[in-house]
Structure 1
Amino acid sequence: MRLKNIYGRIMGVLFFSLVFLICCFSEERKQNFIECEMFPIPDYAHNGSGYTAIEVGLDGNIYVGTANYGSSAHLVRFNPRTQKWDDIIDAHKITRETGTGLDSQSKFHAKILVDSDGVIWAATKQGNENFIDRPEFGESSTGYPGGHLFSFNPKTNIVIDHGILRKQEGIMGGSIDKKRRKIYYWSDPKQHFLIYDINKGTLRDLGTTGGSPRYTAIDNYGRVFGTGRAGIIWMYDPLIDSLYDLSVKLEGPGEYKNPYVMVISKNNKKIFACAIGGDYVMEFDLASIEFSNKKNDTNGSIICRHYAISGPDGLKGGDQHAGVLGKDGCFYYTNVVDKTPYLMRYNSDRKKTECLGIIRVKNHPDLNPLYAQGACVLSDGTIYMKFISAGGGKMMPYSIVRFNKLSAGKTLWRQ
């Protein structure tokens, strides 16, 4: 009898413990998702993908550049109020080019830029790259002509083709200095730093930067930053009109990886960044920049600090292709680990990251929104992100998604 009682008590404890764990797990699962609304991009404008080219205009509309490999890229406009799309630029139609394959104007890859007068700036890039032969360098009988710069005025609906910025190269990156009326890009694949003067309609080429940053960051002094050679951040200073290489000094745990996503902080004193496969969110301290001639291959240094992990607790950093500074001053970015898309938030004041949950499309639980490629934020804190057509199981259409007022006001942190 005594053995039976002991056995019964043990089984009872195990049963209630199991129930408790299941309840806790279920409660955790309820909080483990963050929903977004999906708005598929019109099929005529793409063949399943598009990259950094997304931004909100002064008119409140979302401007999106697409990739249409082997054919013509499009700049399209989404009206959040009517949920309607408009075709703004058909690259081949406006340039009168007919290239196919690599020689086509098949990507709006660079960041969409918005001037103080509301004019939209966008630039094209070549098609699916051949990284071995680089036929756009004259090895092909036709060759890629080079990426075009376009402007669109929403007030007049006029599109202007400002021509090819650098022969046989595509255009990437993208920052705008509204005060000086300058636009900054870099060319692909030779990575030249390009300065376009809006008032004069002229272009300057400052030579190669040695790196391929998808994003560039600009502070309130007009200084432009990007990823250079391994372990290098380059900086352009408009006051001195020079391009500098700054070696990175890492403070904190882990190893340094070249950043892919870069955004300037709200107070313009730091750059927040993350790297593909990087385990930490990076903070570059702009006040730490020092110039020195001790090294022949650099002009100085900048400190990068690792304060917080980039992914959910216990997981290594994954695919981190897109990010944006929220209206609350936090850095929002996606982190895809083992084909699971997480939305992350980094708070510089607290030196902490928070996993907001696994991204799930409202009314479409069967879709898995992998691989965000670009992001923008509205004045009310709403964040839009652009996802390529991908996913385990049912394919998610190439779309923009909306997180309503996610970054508005003061951030409330989960305990």
Structure 2
Amino acid sequence: MRLTFLGAALMLAAQVRGVEEQPAAAPFNYVRAKAFHIPPETTTEESGYFALCEGLNGKIYVGTAAYGRNAYLVEFDPRTEKMRIVLDVHKVAGLPLTPTGYASQSKIHTRCFVGKSGKIYVGTKQGYASEAEKAAKRRGETIPVYRGGYVMVYDPATDTTENLGMPMPLTDEMIAAGKTEGQGVIDVTADEARGLIYIITCEEQHWLLYNMKTKKYRELGPILRDQPNTLIDARGRGTAITADFKVARYDPATDKMTVDPLMVGNKRFGDYLGGHRVHPDWRITPDGKTAYMQLLDDKRMFRVDLSGPAGQPVVAVNLGDRIQGKNPDSRGSICLAPDGRVYSATRVDNETGFGAGLLHHLVRHDPTTAAMEDLGVFTVKNPGFAGSATPNHGFHRLPDGTMTPMHAMLAMIVARDGTIYATNLYPFTLLRVDPDAYPR
């Protein structure tokens, strides 16, 4: 439709006024990161999840998702800035290397767990049915069956892998009970000193224990919260959040399970949160006595005392909002730095007037001062890092042309030298923030 001269003039005036009303400079600090494109052959949709860790060798490890086909663990060498595949899930499991649709091991979604030996423990899970598979189901046809996820180990010292099998495969008994697929693996935590590995499944969040000596899995009992993770406390107890926000603890010394209330003041944790909150995520301090927790869609950070005996309420303290803003989102990002401070990457709506879209802030809590600091917004200092890779809608530009993450950062760690690493979707990207690029 053609515009009249007056209409065009009014539109131009509005655009100019909008530019004039924007701040001349960003009203927040920039946390400048160098971006590295995760090898595109390891993904199908330029995506991954929580799988990010620093090995004892100083290298960085990232898990990927290749829907309908496979999943991979990728190694990044900070010295050479090169990446390579170190674990090919289907190859290690002896599964087809050609696409198998919904039956495939499509994700390494687990947080990568680094044992004291230096071995890296991961798990695999199902992806999503393709549009063709969904159409086939609507026609009453069958699609490939997902049999269950695997627990796998990569040893950087020997460059070897190990397959520990399926914790909860699809069995005849499960089929008789109406189940249509096996359980994927959403979390793996190894207690190497005791020869135990804790596993959490998805989509039903069963809690299982693997005995390294007998090479057998058994279920521990309570159903856990959505996408949780196991911690090992100072007493050697495996510790996790239950579906109703209680604290489940398994004590290997007594082979006993206990479930105790998680309290904030005189309120149960679920009641204190208010509304429906999802995906609690926590990390434990080196002494095994304290955990720091956040939830995906909540701005608050909590400190949890895990030093107490079983049979008593577990006490959590609200440390306050990590940041101000609407529609918070934080995934797999809470992490402890070597100096004991707690970091988080938290996304909120951009209401600053400087551009639009979403902003991902680097936030830090200092336990010694109780301060919560907003260190700035993640930005990319090498915007051409991925070339013409698509999809590429996971980043956007601020008014000064600066590139910044858009939708979802999926994981973050602080390395031993203070370097911050995080992952971002579309394209699947490893972000590296050098120690001199943020306030220390």
Q: Which residue of 2 aligns with 1:354?
A: 373
Superimposed CA distance per residue, residues 149-208 of structure 1 (whole angstroms, 9 cap, x where no aligned partner): 222222332222222221011111222223213221111122221222334433222134
- Which of 411, 420, 436 is residue 383 of structure 1 equivalent to? 420
- The answer for the alignment partner of 1:401 in structure 2 is 431
SS at match of 2:360: strand
* Matches of 1:303 and 1:317, distance apart in 2: 27
In 1: Cα distance, 2:76 partner to 2:65 partner: 16
Matches within 5 A, 1:314-325: 315-316=325-326, 318-321=328-331, 322-325=333-336
CA distance in 2, matches of 1:54, 1:337: 22
Q: CA deviation at 1:55?
A: 1.2
The one-character-per-residue Cα deviations of 1:83-118 (angstroms, maximum 9, x if unpaired) are 111111222233232473332100111121223332
Normalised TM-score (structure 2):
0.75
Which whole-Å CA distance do the structure 2 matches of 1:85 and 1:252 have between them?
50
Change (3 A) 1:320 1:80: same
What's the CA shift for 1:317? 6.1
Give the distance between the partners of 1:203 and 1:333, measured in 2 at CA. 34
Answer with 165-174 or 209-218: which moved more: 209-218
Query: Structure 1 length normalisation: TM-score?
Result: 0.79
What stretches of structure 2 of length at least 5 have no aligned partner? 1-20, 170-181, 350-357, 384-401
The question of whether the paired residues in 1 share the 8 Å contact of 2:225 and 2:241 is answered with: yes
Cα displacement (A) at 1:335: 0.9
- Of the candidates 366, 379, 382, which is equivalent to residue 363 of structure 1? 382
Amino acid at match of 2:316: C
> Is the 8 Å Cα contact of residues 405 and 424 (structure 2) preserved in structure 1?
no
| Cα distance in 2 between the residues matched to 1:317 and 1:251 | 26
Equivalent position of 2:339 in the other structure: 328
User: 1:237 Cα shift?
Assistant: 2.3
- Cα distance, 1:366–1:375 mapped onto 2, change above 3 Å: closer
Deviation at 1:76, TM superposition (A): 1.1
Distance (whole Å) between structure 1 residues aligned to residue 326 and residue 371 of structure 2: 16
- Identify which of structures 1 and 2 has the higher relative contact order when contacts are C-alpha pairs closer than 8 Å and 6+ apart: 2
Local SS of the residue matching 1:207: coil
CA 1:95/1:337 → structure 2, altered by over 3 Å: closer, same or farther? same
For the 8 Å contact 2:409–2:425, the answer to whether it is kept is yes
Deviation digits for residues 309-347 of structure 1 (CA, Å, limit 9, x no counterpart): 1214xx246001122111121111111112211111112
Letter aligned with residue 324 of structure 1:
C
Q: Please, which moves more after superposition, 210-219 or 186-195?
A: 210-219
In structure 2, C-alpha distance between the alignment counterparts of 1:289 and 1:354, rounded to whole Å: 33
Q: Return closer, same or farther for 1:279/1:118 CA change in 2, 3 Å cut-off.
A: closer
The residue aligned with 1:151 is 153
The match for 1:203 among 217, 232, 235 is 217
Unpaired runs of 5+ in structure 1? Answer: 1-21, 292-299, 390-396
- Letter matched to residue 301 of structure 1: P
Q: Secondary structure at the match of 1:72?
A: coil
Tell me by how many angstroms 1:44 deviates.
0.3
Give 1:128 shift: 2.2
1:140 CA drift (Å) = 5.7
CA–CA separation in structure 2 for the residues paired with 1:208 and 1:283: 23
What is the match of residue 105 of structure 2? 105
- Partner letter of residue 187 of structure 1? T
For 1:150 and 1:276, locate their aligned partners in 2 and report how far apart those are by CA, in whole Å: 26
State the Cα RMSD in Å: 2.9
Quick one: which amino acid aligns to residue 224 of structure 1? G
Relative to 1, partners in 2 of residues 1:325 and 1:64: Cα closer, same or farther, differing over 3 Å?
same
| More off after superposition, 379-388 vs 352-361 | 379-388
The AA in structure 2 aligned to 1:359 is F
Equivalent in the alignment of 2:52: 54
DSSP-derived class of the 2:365 partner: strand
Pick closer, same or farther for the CA change 1:198–1:191 going to 2, 3 Å.
same
Q: How many matched pairs?
A: 363
Q: Structure 1 residues 343, 304: CA separation in 2 closer, same or farther (over 3 Å shift)?
A: same
Query: Per the alignment, in what secondary structure is the counterpart of residue 305 of structure 1?
Result: strand
- Candidates 294, 311, 329, aligned match of 1:274: 294
The aligned residue for residue 126 of structure 1 is 126
Does residue 38 in structure 1 map to residue 35 in structure 2? yes
Judged with a 3 Å threshold, the aligned counterparts in structure 2 of structure 1 residues 49 and 198 are, in CA distance, closer, same or farther, namely: same
Residues 223 and 140 (structure 1 numbering): CA distance in 2 closer, same or farther, change over 3 Å? farther
Alignment partner, residue 179 of structure 2: none
